[in-house]
Every structure is written in C-alpha cells, then in structure tokens.
Amino acid sequence: MTPFRSTFNHGRTGRKANDGLSGMAGITHRTAMAGKPAAADAAGEADKPVTGTAHAAGAVSKPGFKAATGTTHTAGEAGNGLRYLLPVILLTMVLASCMSPGPRPLRGFTVVVDPGHGGTALTDSFRVGPTGEREEWVNLRVSLHLRDLLEKDGARVLMTRTEDDFVELADRARLAVENQADVFVSVHHNATADTSVNFPIIYFHGNASQNKASVLLGRFIGRELAGAMFDGETPVSLVSDFAIFPTRGTGVLRGSYGIPGVISEASFFTNAAEEDRLKRNSYNRAEAEALHRAISAFLLSERPEARIIEPYEQRVEPLPVLEQAERMKPEALLWREDVEFGRSVMNELAMADVPIPDRESGTTGQAPSPGSETPMPGTGSTAFRVYELSTPLQDTVTEALHRLTRSVQSFPDSYLAREAHRMRAVFQEILGESPAAAQTRLRTHEFFPDTPVLEKPIPMQMQLPEDLTLSVLIQAPDGTELFAHQADRQVPSASVIKTPILVTLLQMAAKGDIDLSETYTLTEADIVGGTGDLQHEGPGLALSWLDYARLMIKTSDNVATNVIIAKVGMDAVNALTTSLEMDQTVLARYMMDTKAIEEGRQNYTSPRDMNRLLLALYHGRILDAPERALFWDMLKDCDDDTMLRAGVPPQYTVANKTGILSYVRGDSGVLFGQQDFIITAFAEDFNDVSRAEQAIADVVRSRVE
C-alpha cells in the first residue's frame, strides 16, 4: 500500500475534510507573556505561579486568512507610488537580510499548535486540578511558548486558539488540513482518580503500522518530555487514540489524519505536586522547549517512516473501555494492582512449567517471565494446544484475565497497558480463546508500539551525592537535555550573575550607548571586598570599561562588577533577562552588599535560565558578531578552574563564569570540542566548598567523558 500523504513539501496531496464546516471562527494569533517578579524573597524560592488564562499583549492577526483592509487605488496611482517606493522597498529587503537573527532551520515548514479544550470553565468540572488550576489554562500557556520558539526557528505557526475560547474539534483539524501543515500537535494535560499518577501519554491516530510518521513524532515527543519534566525517570506511554475511543479514535486526530499529528498529554494535573509545577511559567516553557526540540527533530529527520501515513483501515476489533469521566472512579485505582496480579500468575505458570505457544513460529516455549516482551502473532492458522490445568490454576488464570481486562478498560492508555495486553493474550490462549488472543496481540502491535531509543538518548542518570544539594542542566547545542536535576531550582546566583551583566554591557556598547574605550576613575565608595585585586589598588585608578569587564570575568573582581552595574543599571540587566524569559533570574543588589541581603534583596538565577542565555549567545540570537566574539574570549579567560574546567578532558575549550558564596557554589558555561555542551550547575547545603566543587566536576566529567 502506498502512502496517501507525503510530508515535507514532497508532492503534498493534503486531504480535505469533507464535513461541510463553515470558516474558522475565533482563531487569533496573539503574544502572551507572564509577569516577572522584581526580586525574589529568599534562597531557593521558586518563580511566581501564573494562574488563570494567559495575559495577552500585542497585535492580533488570523493565521490562514487574508485580511481585506486598506484603501483602494487606481492603477495609475499605484504605478506612480511604486516608482518612488521601489528604492525604499529594496533597501528594506537588504537591511532585513543583514539583520537576520541567525539560522532558521524550520523555514518552509508549517506547524499547527492546538491548545486543547478552552472556554469550558462554566460547564466542565472534570479538567481541574486539586487547587483549581484548569487544564485549558496550562495548555494555552505552553502552546504560546511553543509558538514563539517555533517561529524563532522560521516555522510558520498556526494556533487554533490564543485565548480561553471554545473551538470545535473539527475546526481545529480543518485548520491543519486546509493549510497543508507538516505537523499537528495538540497540547494537553491529563487527569485520573489515582492522584499519585504522573507520566506522559502521547496519542497517535489509528494503527501504528499505517501511521508511521505520527508514531515517530510521538517517540520524539515522549523522549523529550521524559527528559525535560521527569529527569528521564518516568515511563512514557505511546498509544493509539483507538485505545481510549475504540470505535473512531479522537476527533481532532481523525479529522487531520494524513498529517503527522499527535495529542501530547505531558503530565497529570490531578497530581498535586505536578499541578503546582504546571502553574509556573518557567515549567510551562520547559515543556514547550521539549516539544520544540521534538518537533524540530522530527521535521529535520531523514528517517523514511517520517513520511509514511497510509489510509486507515480497521484491523482491530473494538475493546470497550470506561468513559473518561468514569475513569475517575475508585476502580481506576486498581490498574497497577491488577497488572501485578497478572505478573504473579505468569510466575506461577512458569513454576508449573506450562508451555506457551509462540503464535508467530508455531513452536512451544515456556511461559514468559513477568514484564517480558512476548512475540507478535502471525495471521496464519496454527494448531492450538489444549492446556490441561488443575482447576485451581485454571481459576487463577481466569481471574488474572478478568483483572487485566479491568486494568486496560479502567486505564487503557497507561504505561502498563502494553504489558497487560500481552499477558491477556497469553491467558486467553491458555483458556482456549485463541481467536481472541490473536486479536489481543494484534491490538498490542497496532495500538501500543514499542518506544526504542532514537538518535539522541534521553537524559542520562547518575548517582548524585547525598551530602549536598545539586541543581544541574547539561544540554546539547540544539537544546536536547542530556542531564537535568532540579534544573528549575532558583538559587542565589553569586558571581554567575556577572554573565548577564557582561551581556548587557556589550549590548549597550553595540548600540553606541557606552564606549568601551572610555575610562572611569575609581572612587573610595567603589572599593569593596571579596574577590578581585582592584580593592587593593584603591581610589584614583583609571581603567577602560573594557578592562573592567575583563576583570569582572577573569578574576571575578567585585569592584569592577559594581562600577559596571552602576554604569548600565540594574534595570537594564533585568530587562535583558526578562526578554529571554529567564523568569527566575534577577539582579537586586551590588556585590558584597550584605545589608541588601539582610533586607531580603538577593541575586538569583537557575540552571535553566543560565543555559537559556548561553544558548541564545551560542546561536547568535543576541549580540552582534564582534561583541559575541568578545564575550566568548572573556569567558574563555576565566581563572577559576575548579568545576567545569576540572571536569573535562584537555581537548575541550571552556568558556565559563563561576560563583561562590559561603552557602552556594556555581559554574555556568559552554564546552567547545568535538561535541559542544552547555552546562550550568550549582551546589548548596555543603559543609566543605571543595566537596561542592568536586561534586560539580564529577557530574560534568561523567557526562562529557
């Protein structure tokens, strides 16, 4: 069978929805931005929650529609105007090309981002967390961040909604079909009666063997969500939407079938701790960044399956499941216990030497061990074995089949559902229900595809020290998280804050607001203690702003830092971090200002914020080329070699800035080598500063080597 829809502009034949729908109503395109606190109150305080709908600001347009506005002109008027406007137009085009913000790898791709639900607060009491945060609010905040990230990379992004509005499912799908989208991603978050549950679920439409492109997209998304939101420590469920809606699947994926598309349920807002995280703008952005990485990896993938979607045909008989609201009932809480019971019965069969036929080969083998992968069935006929079990064992197998069926009906999309169906097939075979067993194996194959490791690994795990608190983020240049642990933890920044101070100075120099060659003479009031040698020079020393900047980074000189802060202003530094959505970063005091600390004014950041700044510099999104080169040269000249520099092989070049207070040690920078790394790490709650330095070096070494 040949694919009926090719992606990536290769002979598109986008299928039109034949549903007689009217035009897309109420779909707008608007920028949303969460407020940022002026200063944090205490060490380790998280960024402020963002509840309710996203606060929008900016112009409104309607993607996918042509505006008919303005004044009409005669042909003569148009010709005369064009004669005078042509030079201006050409000059504008030249300037625009010169000011291009760096690589735009997704140029030419169209992505439809669908914030799930919306406008149902008065009619829907189901999609709400323990403290009142509604799913549609979270979906929208994440989607707006995702839109901005994709657009920065050159993608054409269409939003199905940008406010808390209700949009019909068919309208959402039709937006993707009529615009011949390359990808459709519907952003959701999940709910269940078991409030301990929290893991990602990604849905594709139909059969895995026919919808290979969407399955691949789902694998990329699952990998990135697990790394960004769960430190890679959670299972991911990749499942057909027919598992939860057995007769037709989901309307939005059914309506857009033919376009690589998924519903991404990143986490469960019914989990109280997760609901609290989902209220936070930085966490929403981290999810959006994971989706951005996954979509980019899919669109740029050269895998053949990325371009294959075949027409859907029903291959699997429907298995009734509980309706979504019913899954909130107490019986849904037994889904794990039921699977555990099935595993115990598999063990019992193994101990009783009960042979299990392999439906693909027709041979007979031992009962598979609990949790193991059993083969997929063939469709040909096989001589079925008659099992002679003792009555108690047969009753036990019958009970196991019943409980496993209850599990997959109560929680049909759980990460245990695949294993549960495989065990169901075994028990059905033993009980003489071979046709049903064949259907169950086919269901497992089509609705619950495996999730092999793709080109890039999920974040690696390592043994972290227990005698201190680490917050770490290690990323590849494309943003892929290679290791993350408490990456959103807000920590006192110490001298790591000097990196955004330097960027602000260089930005103002590029604009002509500051002349780096201009000198400034130190006064008595400028002299402070701590790191650096300028404190020993005393007042009267005159240096250029460029020299002060070099000393601020090379020896972490506090005197140099403070005169630069006074020159550029704290507001300018905070404006920079706000523009980059470094939501947990704030410059609130000068170096060595203990009185400010006592008054609750502290400088803060997080590993994710610092990496966001470094990635923006790495990809040329901020600073012009001359200033950017100067920035990297300064960080490469940092004298502190105790953490990042101690943890990497000598063939790497390190550009970094460290920081130290009596209660925090940190390092943030880029490792340039055969493979580049962006790394920020902080240690707190330590008794020995050398132990903190060694812990950071060990984490870096374990990843880089």
| Distance separating alpha carbons of residues 367 and 56, to the nearest angstrom | 58
79 vs 199: CA distance, rounded Å: 61
* Residue 254 banded pLDDT, cuts 50, 70, 90: very high
**Integer CA distances (angstroms), 550 to 554, 555, 564, 654, in order:** 6, 8, 11, 16
> Per-residue confidence at 613, pLDDT binned at 50, 70, 90?
very high
Predicted local distance difference test score (pLDDT) of residue 28: 30
CA distance linking residue 318 with residue 242, whole number of Å: 8
* Percent share of the chain, pLDDT over 70: 78
What would the pLDDT profile of 79-92 be if each residue is shown by its tens digit?
Answer: 444 444 555 445 54
Model confidence pLDDT, tens digit, residues 118-130: 988 877 777 888 9
| Chain centroid, CA 280 distance in Å | 14
3 state DSSP class of 170: helix
Q: Please, what is the average pLDDT of the chain?
A: 81
d(CA 260, CA 183): 5
Tens digits of residue pLDDT in 506-541: 999 999 999 999 999 999 999 999 999 999 998 999
Report how far residue 441's alpha carbon sits from residue 428's, in angstroms, rounded to the nearest whole number.
10
Q: Looking at 277-286, 324-333, 476-485, 558-567, which range is the least confident one?
A: 324-333
Question: How would residue 100 be classed by pLDDT, with cut points 50, 70 and 90?
Answer: very low
Residue 552: closest CA among 649, 658, 644: 658
pLDDT beyond 60 at 33 = no
178 or 372, greater pLDDT: 178
Q: Tell how strand 110-115 and strand 156-159 pair up.
A: parallel
As given in the structure block, the two tokens for residue 228 are 């960004």
- Residue 220, token pair as written in the block: 């990329």
Question: What is the C-alpha to C-alpha distance for residues 351 and 424, in angstroms, rounded to an integer?
Answer: 19
Report which of residues 134 and 11 the model is more confident about. Answer: 134
Dist CA 431 CA 576 (whole Å) = 67
Q: Which one has a higher pLDDT value, 50 or 221?
A: 221
Cα separation of 219 and 450, whole Å?
A: 9
Mean pLDDT for the stretch of residues 467-483: 88
| pLDDT-derived band at 484, boundaries 50, 70, 90 | confident
Does the pLDDT at position 440 exceed 80?
yes
Question: Residue 31 above 60 pLDDT?
Answer: no
Starting at the edge strand found earlier in the chain, the sheet holding 653-661 runs 481-485, 469-475, 677-684, 664-672, 653-661
Q: Strand 355-357 vs strand 364-366: parallel, antiparallel, or unpaired?
A: antiparallel
Residue 170 structure tokens: 């068919």
Whether the CA torsion 347, 349, 350, 351 is positive or negative: it is: positive
CA pair distance 145, 590, nearest whole angstrom: 32
Q: Tell me the mean pLDDT in the region 295-320.
A: 87
pTM of the model: 0.58
More confident residue, 99 or 498: 498
pLDDT value at 96 more than 60:
no
Amino acid 11: pLDDT = 31
For range 680-705, the mean pLDDT? 89
The pLDDT of residue 303 is: 75
Q: What are the tokens at 182?
A: 């390359």
Q: What is the pLDDT of residue 23?
A: 30
Q: How far apart, in Å, are the Cα atoms of 334 and each of 134, 329, 338, 339, 350?
A: 26, 10, 6, 9, 25
Across residues 468-474, what is the average pLDDT? 93
Q: What percent of the chain shows pLDDT beyond 90?
A: 59
Residue 702's pLDDT is: 80
How far from 321 is each of 117, 318, 332, CA to CA, in Å?
22, 9, 11
Query: Which pLDDT score, from 0 to 100, does residue 205 have?
Result: 97
pLDDT mean over 629-658: 92
Model confidence at 94: pLDDT above 70:
no
* Cα 448 to Cα 83, 219, 440, 523, 613, distances in angstroms: 63, 12, 11, 70, 39
The residue with greater pLDDT, 82 or 684, is 684
pLDDT at 451: 67
Q: Are 184 and 261 in contact (CB under 8 A)?
A: yes
Model pLDDT for residues 328-358, shown as the tens digit of each residue: 677 778 889 999 999 999 888 888 887 765 5
What is the Cα–Cα distance from 92 to 652, expressed in whole angstroms?
42
Indicate the range of 254-263, 321-330, 483-492 predicted with least confidence: 321-330
What is the 3-state secondary structure of 175-211?
HHHHCCCCEEEEEEEECCCCCCCCCCEEEECCCCCCC
pLDDT at position 608, please?
A: 95
Tell me the three-class secondary structure of 589-638, residue by residue. CCCCCHHHHHCCCCCEECHHHHHHHHHHHHCCCCCCHHHHHHHHHHHHCC
pLDDT tens-digit series, residues 402-427: 999 999 999 999 999 999 999 999 99
Residue 231: the pLDDT is 62
In this prediction, residues 573-600 reach a mean pLDDT of: 94
pLDDT(102) > 60: no
d(CA 499, CA 513): 19
| pLDDT score, position 327 | 67
Q: What is the reported pLDDT for 364?
A: 43
Contact 549, 564 (CB under 8 A): yes
Mean pLDDT, range 537-546, rounded to an integer: 94
Asked if residues 261 and 306 have their Cβ atoms less than 8 Å apart, the reply is no
Task: Please tell me the predicted confidence (pLDDT) of residue 244.
Answer: 92
Residue 469 pLDDT:
93
Burial class of residue 13, CB neighbours in 10 A (0-12, 13-18, 19+): exposed
Q: Report in angstroms the alpha-carbon separations of 696 from 7, 471, 666.
A: 44, 9, 8
**Other Cβ atoms closer than 10 A to 675:** 11
Q: Could you tell me the sign of the dihedral formed by the alpha carbons of 224, 228, 231, 236, in that order?
A: negative
Contact criterion met (CB below 8 Å) for 241 and 204: yes
* Cβ atoms of 126 and 191 closer than 8 Å: yes
* Residue labelled with tokens 């439906």: 359
| Res 42 pLDDT > 80 | no
356 vs 400: which has the higher pLDDT:
400
